[in-house]
Amino acid sequence: MSELSEPALEAEKLDAADELAPLRDRFVLDDVVYLDGNSLGALPANVPDRVADVVRRQWGELRIRSWEDSGWWTAPERIGDRIAPLVGAAAGQIVVGDSTSVNVFKALVAAVRMAGEDRTEILVDATTFPTDGYIAESAARLTGRTLRAVTPAEVPEALSGRTAAVLLNHVDYRTGRLHDLPGMTAAIHAAGALAVWDLCHSAGALPVGLDEHGVDLAVGCTYKYLNGGPGSPAYLYVRRDLQPRFDSPLPGWNSHTDPFGMSPSYAPAPGALRGRVGTPDILSMLALEAALDVWDGVSVFAVRAKSLALTDFFLRCVRAYTEPGRVECVTPERHEERGSQVALRCDDAGEVMKRLIDRGVVGDFRHPDVLRFGFTPLYVGFADTERAARILGEELA
């Protein structure tokens, strides 16, 4: 056996000391280094049997009785309460259902309505995932407001007495930059506006602190760091004191105070329930509920500590294995500005990523020149990280 390189020896030591290492056994994994959990999380090992029970017994045998006997009807708020501790929220403020895009629409329109008629402008993150921008433009047209796109750094200066709501991403999907949720939420509130945060790239990777920092509304997907499965339902957070004023632009029978009364007039249910719309997607929702079992006994603060250690180590290994100047890191070095991914820029990024995947290192490519590597601390180890950097260096040589 050849002598291990210095980074490989360091990886062995770090893995041996990693208190989260046993969690890897909670997932279905192979010998591939999977660094794309920021797009689709790995399959938790308990999910297939749970879904089989939902299909065969709950649907196959109990059929319609499962709405009550199997807890289908209460799943959106029950699963919301499972997600709540992972984003720093008390129970009763999160409802699960619909897609992230639909929940962005609900949250932003409701925020504008709560802000009042004299608030005529919506600010949106100019670096956002495109769909958030599309939704914001539609929400502005629907509510008769103007829309202005600004970078997160420009938000404090852009705020004014006209601002109704601000839609921001907690982590930039391309660069992995972590934005200042506490500081920007405070600035938005000081201007008398409401803050709507997209948590897709932060929930399950780092502490969010929704209640602690007074966030008004938040949305997020569950198929990335929460490992809920492809197309798993998203969630909507409405701060408790705002719930009586939350006026959803998509009132549906599931959010009616008497859903089976079949009244022709709408009366919203109390609490976070008014964020529901139509019949829940039970199969994907209960797969998500099973997936959340992997978080039992896990501290999100411990996850954050390992995330930073993994990304620090990856950056050190990349520097050790690649020629200076071959790639440029566009992810901030400072911990307080970094999510749980590393984005590297190189001219031939698309071809490089194809070759990495062929060699068992799965990340992804973002046009035009960005290699993205997502680090999910629940199942990614330091040996994985060293191997990914070493193969990257070989492919870049």
Amino acid at position 222, single letter: T
**Whole-number Å distance between alpha carbons of 218 and 94:** 9
Question: Looking at 18, 36, 98, 198, which residue is catalytic?
Answer: 198
Are the beta carbons of 343 and 370 closer than 8 angstroms? yes
The 3 state secondary structure assigned to 65-127 is: HHHHHCCCCCHHHHHHHHHHHHHCCCCCCEEECCCHHHHHHHHHHHHHHHHCCCCCEEEEECC
> Catalytic pick from 372, 379, 384, 387?
372
Tokens (6 digits) for 146: 């103007």
State the angle between helix axes of 382-396 and 300-321 in degrees (0 to 180), rounded to the nearest 10.
Answer: 30
Catalytic, out of 34, 223, 313, 382: 223
The active-site residue, picked from 129, 173, 235, 313, is: 129
Q: Determine the Cα–Cα distance for residues 15 and 369; give it in Å rounded to an integer.
A: 32
Check whether the bond before 368 is cis (ω within 30° of 0).
Answer: yes
Catalytic, 372? Answer: yes
Is-catalytic flag, 198?
yes
Length of the chain: 397
Catalytic residue among 224, 276, 306, 390: 224
Question: How far is it, in rounded angstroms, from Cα 126 to Cα 149?
Answer: 5
Tokens coding 203: 């929930």
Give the catalytic positions in this structure: 129, 198, 223-224, 372
